């Protein structure tokens, strides 16, 4: 069921954290669409952001998790796509707010900057927090309308 499917992907800098969180997701009943990378060898993060963007656009997943060393590069790459709202977060408050006010569909974490317990909290809040809509819906719609893609 796509509404309960989450795509996960990372580069080499995020591989370990992505793998731990993917296991947590599967244990929690989510269908995990793991788009790589599959090991610690150096790879290019834009390729994995692209795979996640494709999975979201096709409906293969309703949300996604991206991880690179800091989360910065992969979030920049992901946000090149008009239908992607990727939020790099560092704490639980940011994870809740990116959903509540921005309807983020991609959570981005830094594999070298975020500990596993903080990452688990962020992921839980990202998945459990609804979008408030209201005045925020107009702004979120503008993100796609103004994008040149």
Catalytic residues: 68, 101
DSSP letter assigned to residue 30: P
Place of tokens 């560092």: 90
Q: Which of 68, 60, 122 is nearest to 95 (CA)?
A: 122
d(CA 94, CA 2): 25
Task: Please name every residue paired with 63 in a beta bridge, in sequence order, or none if there are none.
Answer: 6
d(CA 72, CA 38): 20
């Amino acid at each position: 069921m796509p509404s309960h499917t989450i795509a996960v992907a990372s580069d080499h800098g995020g591989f370990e954290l992505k793998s731990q969180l993917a296991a947590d997701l599967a244990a929690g009943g989510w269908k995990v669409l793991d788009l790589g990378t599959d090991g610690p060898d150096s790879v290019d993060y834009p390729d994995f952001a692209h795979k996640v963007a494709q999975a979201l656009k096709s409906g293969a997943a309703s949300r996604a998790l991206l991880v690179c060393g800091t989360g910065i590069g992969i979030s920049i790459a992901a946000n090149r796509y008009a239908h992607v709202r990727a939020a790099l977060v560092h704490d639980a408050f940011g994870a809740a707010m990116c959903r509540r006010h921005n309807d983020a569909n991609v959570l981005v974490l830094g594999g070298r900057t975020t500990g596993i317990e903080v990452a688990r909290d962020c992921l839980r809040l990202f998945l459990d927090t609804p979008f408030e809509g209201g005045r925020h819906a107009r702004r979120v719609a503008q993100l796609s309308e103004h994008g040149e893609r």
